[in-house]
Amino acid sequence: MRKLKLDELNRASVTEFKAQEKLPVAVILDNVRSMHNVGSIFRTCDGFAVDQVCLCGITGQPPHREIEKTALGATQSVKWHYYADPLKAVAQLRKEGYTIIAIEQAEKSIMLNEFEAEAGKKYALIFGNEVNGVSDEVMKTIDHCIEIPQFGTKHSFNVVVSAGIVLWDLFNKIIVHGS
């Protein structure tokens, strides 16, 4: 088996990417402190053609050297907004018709494998701070909470890993299988 070269991948240009249909998902980063995590999430959102990213609170904003180190240019392709208060991001996305979902371990959470994405719906996924998770204030405003099943000794995944798992799952359910 031969690995493909970069020029064989037929990747969209930034202009083509901005014009193409997007996964009906917004990602909200609620006080994510690591710039490398922010950049990696931008890159993941580019990979799944996510509609937009909302950076909130202490979450770093482009342009920033540490974000760009892992984003590899995805801050240029993915639409993003900054909100000092994550509650304002939630309110804005709710006004735009998004269903608000925290990715968190909580009472009455729905396991990711049991979550059924509905065709034609838009989803805003909230990923929280690396230590404290999604803030209590934001948790009071959500429509649903999704939890990623885990079977090891640790109690959480890194926020970037969580974003990759959940975005792949929704991409698979919405785009690949057309839920």
Average pLDDT estimate for 53-70: 98
Judged against a pLDDT cut of 60, whether residue 10 lies above it is answered with: yes
What percentage of the chain exceeds 70 in pLDDT?
99
Q: Which segments within the chain are labelled E, that is strand?
A: 23-30, 50-56, 80-83, 98-103, 110-111, 122-128, 144-147
Residue 174 in contact with residue 24, Cβ under 8 Å? Answer: yes
Token digits for 175?
């785009």
Cβ(30)–Cβ(135) under 8 Å? yes
Using one digit for the tens of pLDDT, what is the confidence trace for 86-107? 999 999 999 999 999 999 999 9
What is the band of 179 on the pLDDT scale with cuts at 50, 70, 90? low
CA–CA distances in Å: residue 173 to residues 51, 103, 167, 169: 16, 17, 10, 6
pTM of the model: 0.97
pLDDT mean across residues, the chain: 97
For residue 177, pLDDT over 90 is answered with no
| DSSP string over 4-21 | PPGGGS-PPPHHHHHHS-
Q: Cα separation of 78 and 33, whole Å?
A: 20
Burial of 176 (0-12, 13-18, 19+ CB in 10 A): exposed
User: Is the per-residue pLDDT at 119 higher than 90?
Assistant: no
Tens digits of residue pLDDT in 13-60: 999 999 999 999 999 999 999 999 999 999 999 999 999 999 999 999
Q: Which amino acid is at 56?
A: C
For the segment 122-137, what is each residue's pLDDT rounded down to a tens digit? 999 999 999 999 999 9
